[in-house]
Amino acid sequence: MGLPTYEDEKAVELIDARVIELLKKMLEGEVGRLDPYFDPNAKYGYSYPDANVVLKRLHGEEVEVLELLHKLGYLVGTFHDKVYLCPFCQSHHLHLRLSCPECNSTDIRQASMLHHFSCGHVDLEERFLQRGRLICPKCSQVLRHIGVDYERPSRVWHCNQCGYIFQHPVESFHCHRCGRQSSKEQVVEKRIMSFTVSPEAAVAIEDGKLYDFKYYQVVSDGLTQLVNMSYFREQGLKEVARSVRYGNQVTFVLIRIVNFPELVSAYGQTEAERLFRDFAQITNNTLRSCDLVARYDDVSLIIQLPETGPDSAIFAINRISYNLTRSDIWLEFTDPRPVIKVSMVSIPEDAKDYDELLKLLEERIETSGLVVGMTEQSGAGR
């Protein structure tokens, strides 16, 4: 089945398992209407915290996901607010600049004008004020009654630098992010919406489709029903970038059945695959909902542990080991027994990018990985 023509790459990039989960929660009533909240640190000045509890995107980036779902018809949008963005960098941190059309100074102020009927003089009201009374600076007559002696025809702007009097200041916007200036005609207008789920979302999820393709074929592994490496890599790149930028720890774990070929020879391919499925299910069920497990290759799983340092990662590995060695299926394999090796890499301490951490995981599992299922144990590659 071919992908549709509208923003194909963007849809594949943004639609993931957590998007499906959000739509399901909205359909089931667990998550209600998604209202935006003012957030000066978010990309467009608004964020959707209720949505991001499920989506787990970088701060403010959930807006793009919701807007795509709205455009695809899976969410219904209602107007909430309007923001204006810098046309050069898309920042909402804009400062309105009112300036003098004569000298471009922003040292301007509003003032009232007076018109003296008798002599016809028109000037700033402040120039009529003398000793608490209104006295015409041209003919020195005292002005007592508005509508009889004088009128206030309008309010104007006055430049304190050059003295110029004008009706309308020049309006422009200064961006505090990129430092560039734009006119009010140039700034980008963006509508901020509240979202509710549409009936089309239920149909799409029931059919296993979003954006006119079968989603499970895109992100899941057929044998284990875990996410595949394509999806894991996408999420891993984001998590590594977040870790390097903000300094929060994330640990990646490679866990491998090192004697899998021997198990195939002893028990057969079908039984060995049954063991691997159990291996994947137990590993996934042992971890937190925010952790991510994928099938790395025919004999290995890879795990992403957000907000987790080395010590906590070792604790998670020990829990997995404990649960594996007490599995009914695991206990059926006695001669030979499955042997598990584990390695781990913590970001940002051990590596700075995704490909570097994969290489390091492979090196460590070959040299000094933690061994499970044997009496002898060594370090986890740390």
Q: Is the pLDDT of residue 337 over 60?
A: yes
Q: Provide the whole-model pTM.
A: 0.46
Helix (H, G, I), strand (E, B) or coil at 329: helix
| Residues 285-332 pLDDT 10s | 999 988 999 999 889 999 999 999 989 999 999 999 889 888 888 888
- In this prediction, residue 382 carries a pLDDT of 36
pLDDT digits (tens, 9 = 90+) for 112-121: 888 898 888 8
pLDDT higher than 80, residue 214: no
Give 61-72 pLDDT, tens digit per residue. Answer: 788 889 888 888
Residue 237's SS3 state is: helix
CA distance 287 to 305: 9
Q: Is the pLDDT of residue 209 over 80?
A: no
User: 18-25 contacts: CB < 8 A, separation 24 or more?
Assistant: 18/54, 18/55, 18/56, 19/55, 19/65, 19/69, 19/210, 20/205, 20/210, 20/215, 21/54, 22/51, 22/54, 22/55, 23/69, 23/74, 23/197, 23/201, 23/204, 23/205, 24/205, 25/54
Q: What is the CA radius of gyration of the chain?
A: 33
DSSP conformational letter for 218: H
pLDDT digits (tens, 9 = 90+) for 217-238: 445 666 787 888 888 988 899 8
At 185-203, the pLDDT tens digits run 888 889 999 999 998 888 7
pLDDT digits (tens, 9 = 90+) for 355-377: 999 999 999 988 865 665 433 33
> Taking every pair of C-alpha atoms in the chain, what is the biggest distance, in angstroms?
117
Task: Give the DSSP letter string of 3-15.
Answer: PPSSSHHHHHHH-
Euclidean distance between CA atoms 101 and 135, whole angstroms: 30
Supply 50's token pair.
């209720």
Query: Given the structure tokens 């990646």, which residue do they identify?
Result: 252
Domains of the chain: 8-87+188-219 (1.10.10), 101-168 (no CATH), 229-372 (3.30.70.270)
pLDDT band for position 256 (50/70/90)? very high
Rounded-to-integer distance, Cα 303 and Cα 255, Å: 8
